[in-house]
Structure 1
């Protein structure tokens, strides 16, 4: 029997695309001078994640991921935009998104979304300090699960590994995660 370490595979095989995306995000975050700049970042996330979640929803529900309803990010991004008096943008189109035609591909895309909650803990503090937002208005997306972030990440990883029952499945998840990172970077570069 082949032992698959999906999480090691994901981390190593998506590293380049992950780092490139992170680099573009850091440039945007460091360049923030006003709440409008931050609203623009939220709009970038909303347009991409909202469309991506629509695709993921076709293949993942409570049967595949029991706490999936808690993991949707679109509403919190929308609420942050509105709290800052921004305009909620249109969703990205299919051409801007990774191909998601199976549950495994959906889990690969969700790996990227869920992984963003880890960095969000640092980002939320930076934004709050940099823009001096009242009562942390507009940072619920980046705060995500708050003190429960690591516990939620651990639960997600366990479910993800459960679905990677073969090397072929692990490869499909990894390929989708890589494509999600890459397409999100391209989306961010355009905005």
Structure 2
């Protein structure tokens, strides 16, 4: 299946990006540190979603609006007293000029929900967050996480019709990871 191929083909970039995120999470000592992490996610994912929305919408992904992450990130930032930052633009983001590249970028965003519940528990254990505040992004789909990931993977397998399509999606996913890593290192 294509989703196994993309997982393998993006593993190195995924791990490099994850390493930076784990380091940031482990070094959190205050709610402001957490707000800074949420702001990094918002800046990158917010800009990325603006590009993706040009090619993916309810016509080719029925629940796309429910899959957008920037609103949850903005809500979390505001709930914790932070200011919602500007979003990434231009060369800070991967090139997305068609729906295949958009699906490659969305693969990265959707994959971020898988570790969210673990991160949410870690944040709750280490920081004095107000009850139920600041965790909507990392709680993501809640108990529906694996079901929603499965639906996305099924669609991605259908979208990746040819080897050429698959390579476009993989290249976009790798570029999305690489640019996210650079964004986080700023």
Q: TM-score when scaled to structure 1?
A: 0.96
Q: Is the 8 A contact 2:104 2:170 kept in 1?
A: yes
1:121 paired residue among 113, 117, 122 = 117
Distance 1:93 1:86 in 2: 21
User: Which residue, 86, 91, 94 being the options, matches 2:87?
Assistant: 91
Instruction: Give the counterpart of 2:5 among 2, 9, 13.
Output: 9
State how far apart, in whole Å, the 1-side matches of 2:5 and 2:73 are: 30
**C-alpha separation between the residues in 2 aligned to 1:6 and 1:102?**
19
Deviations 1:61-82 (A, max 9, x none): 0111011011000000000000
Q: Structure 1: where are the runs of 5+ without partners?
A: none
State the SS of the aligned residue for 1:177: helix
Hey, what's the Cα distance between the residues in 1 that align with 2:53 and 2:88?
Answer: 16
Contact 1:76 1:141 in 2 (8 A): yes
Which structure 1 residue ranges, 4+ long, deviate > 3 Å from structure 2? Answer: none
Q: Does 1:37 align with 2:33?
A: yes
Counterparts of 1:110 and 1:28 in 2: how far apart (Å)?
Answer: 23
Note the aligned Cα RMSD (angstroms).
0.7
Aligned residue pairs: how many? 186
Could you say which residue in structure 2 is the equivalent of 1:175? Answer: 171
Task: Give the whole-Å Cα distance in 2 for the aligned partners of 1:104 and 1:117.
Answer: 21
Q: Which residue of 1 aligns with 2:148?
A: 152
